[in-house]
A and B are shown apart, each in its own frame.
Chain A
Amino acid sequence: MRRKKRKGDGGGTGRPVDPPGDAIVHAEGLSKTHRGDRAPVHAVRDVDLTVRPGEFVAVTGPSGAGKSTLLHLVGGLERPDAGRLWIGGERVDGHDEARWAVLRRRSVGVVFQFFNLVSHLTVADNVELPALLAGASPRAARASREELLAELGLDGREDALPAALSGGEQQRVALARALVNQPALLLADEPAGSLDGKGTRDVLRLLARFHARGQTILMVTHDARMASAADRVISFFDGRIADDAPLGDPAPARPGVTGVLDLND
C-alpha cells in the first residue's frame, strides 16, 4: 500500500522523540481496543497523526472503521490503550478526567452528531456556560455569546430551549458553544450526520468560514461532500490510516467547467 508520509509525521520506525513544535495535534502509535461481550474490536491501531495550526482535516471511512474512536481519543473522551498524544505541544495521554475537562474547556471545542445541548438551559445559557466555567466574567461571556449567535444566524433565539429549535439550529448552537472559548482545536464528529440537506449546507458553510479565519478543525464524516470542504482528507479503514491526501486548491471553477458532465464518463 502506498502511504504518503509527511515529514515529521513519524510512522513505522524512526519516530521523532519530540512532537513538531507547532503541531496542534500530534499522536504517535495511538491504539484503542474495545472489549465488550464479543470479540475485541481493534478500533484504532498504531495511528500516527499530526494536525498543524489552521488545517482543516477530514477523516472519512466506512462505519465501524474506528474514525469516531480516533476523534474521541484526540478529544480525551476515550483513553488510548497505547501511544502518546500531544495537544498544542502539551503531553496529554496521561491526563485524568479532571485535567481533560480543563483542557477541553480551554483548548478543544467539540460538536457531536446529536448536538448534546443541555435540554433545560436556554440557547444563551448553553453557549455562555462553558465561557463562565472557563473563568470569563458574565459580561464577557454574554458579549461572546451575542457575537457568535449573530454570526451563526441565531439572533432572537437566545431564550429558546433546544427542543424548540430545528436540528440545524441546534447544531449551530452547539457550534457556538464549542467555539465560545476560542479553542485552538475544533473537533467535529459527524456534525451533519442527523441534518437535512439545508442543515448540512449551513454547517458546512460555517465550518468553512471559521476555517478561513484560521480555526484548526478535525472532522469525522462519512459524507464526501463534507469531507471535500477540508484541505486534507484522511481515509480510515479498519483502525488504520489508508490514505492521507492533501486536497488541491483547484483553479477557481471557470464557467462551464466540463467536469460536471464528465461525471458520467
Chain B
Amino acid sequence: MSISAKANRLWAYANPKKFLETTEKALPFFWVAAALCLVVGLVWGFFFTPDDYRQGSTVKIIYLHVPSALMAINIWFMMLVTSLVWLVRRHHVSALAARAAAPVGVVMTLIALATGAIWGQPMWGTWWAWDPRLTSFLILFLFYLGYIALWEAIENPDTAADLTSVLCLVGSVFAILSRYAVNFWNQGLHQGASLSLDKEENVADVFWVPLLVCIAGFVLLFVALVLYRTGTEIRARRIKALQARERVGA
C-alpha cells in the first residue's frame, strides 16, 4: 500500500507543471550544495592532501578524473532508465530528461578522457594507449554523439523521443558488448578500481575522503544541471506550442 502510494507521488512529477514548480524550489539548494561540495572537495584535494610518494602531485587529478568517469557511465544509465519510462508510460518529462542529460554526459566523458591523458603523459609516458578502459570510454563518447545527433536531426518531438529511446536501449547492449570485446582485444595499462566497497584495493584514506566529497559534488552538479535543462526543454516546447497556436489563430 505504502509503496504504491509512494510510486503515485513519484509519478506526479511526470506532470510538467508540477515538475517545474518543485524543481524551481529545489534547484537553488542543489546549486548551492553542488558548489559547496565541489569547492570543499577540490580545495581540500588539491591543497591539503600530501603528494603521493611515487606519483608526486599528479595524483591530485584523481579528484576530477574519477568523479567524471563515474558520472559518464551513470548518466548513460540514467538515460536508459528515463528512456524506458518514456517507452512504457509515455511521460514527456522523462524523455526530455534523457535529452537534457546527454550533453552533460558528453562533457563528463570528455573530462574523464582529457584528465586521463594529462595524467597519463607523465605517468605512463603517453597521452593515449589503446587500453580497454580508455577505448571503451572513447566508444561511449561516440554513442553519446550519435544519440545527440539523432535528437537534433528529427523534427517531430515524439518521433525523436521514440527513436532515441530505442537507440539508447540497443546502444546500451552494444556498449556493454564493446566493453567485453575490448577487454578481450587488448591487455590493460589502466589500474583497477580506485573505489569499491571492498576496502582492500582502495586508495589511502587521506585521498579517499576528499574524493568522496568531490563525487558528491559531481552528482549534485549533475542533478542540478539535468533539472535545470529539463525545465528549459519544457519551456522551449511550450513556446513552440504557443507559437503554433498563434499561427493558426492568425
Say if A and B assemble together. no
Name B's A-contacting residues (CB within 8 A).
none
